Amino acid sequence: MDKKLNFLPLQNTVSLRSALHALSTYKLAWKVGFYTLLLVALIPIVILFGLVLAGNLHFGGVAVLLTLAVGGAFGLIDMYRSIKENARIQAFASTNGLLMVQDSLGADYPGARFAAHDVLIASAIRTPDVSFLEIGNYKVIGAQERTNNSPTFGYMRIKLSRRLPNMYLYSNQNPLKLQYDFSSLQKLELEGDFNDYFTLYVPNGYGKDAFYIFSPDMMVRFIDHLGAFDCEIIDDELYLYSSRKFDLTSSQELTSLMSLSEQVSAKFTKQTQYYSDEFVGEKTQNTIAPTGQRLEKKIKPWGVILGAAIATGIFAFLCLLFVSALKDGNSLRIKQYGFVLAMITISALVGIARPFFNRPKQ
In a 10 Å sphere around its CB, with 0-12 CB exposed, 13-18 middle and 19+ buried, how is residue 226 labelled? buried
The CB density around residue 95, as the number of other CB atoms within 10 Å, is 14
Task: Tell me the pLDDT tens digit for each residue of 132-146.
Answer: 999 999 988 754 334
The CB density around residue 78, as the number of other CB atoms within 10 Å, is 14
Residue ranges of the domains in the chain?
Answer: 8-95, 99-299, 301-352
* Closest to 201 in 3D by CA, of 218, 220, 214: 214
Tell me the pLDDT of the chain averaged across its residues.
Answer: 80
At 336, which amino acid appears?
Q
Distance, CA of 41 to CA of 360 (rounded, Å): 46
pLDDT band of residue 67 (cuts 50, 70, 90) is confident
Task: Tell me the pLDDT tens digit for each residue of 41-54.
Answer: 777 777 777 777 77
- Is 76's pLDDT higher than 60? yes
Q: Mean pLDDT over residues 175-204, rounded?
A: 86
Q: What pLDDT score was predicted for residue 362? A: 35
The mean-pLDDT minimum among 11-20, 59-68, 249-258, 271-280 falls in 59-68
Q: What percent of the chain has pLDDT over 90?
A: 31
Task: Tell me the pLDDT tens digit for each residue of 318-345.
Answer: 777 767 777 777 777 766 666 676 666 6
Spatial CB neighbours of 84, under 8 Å, sequence gap ≥ 6: 14, 19, 22
- Is 358's pLDDT higher than 50? no
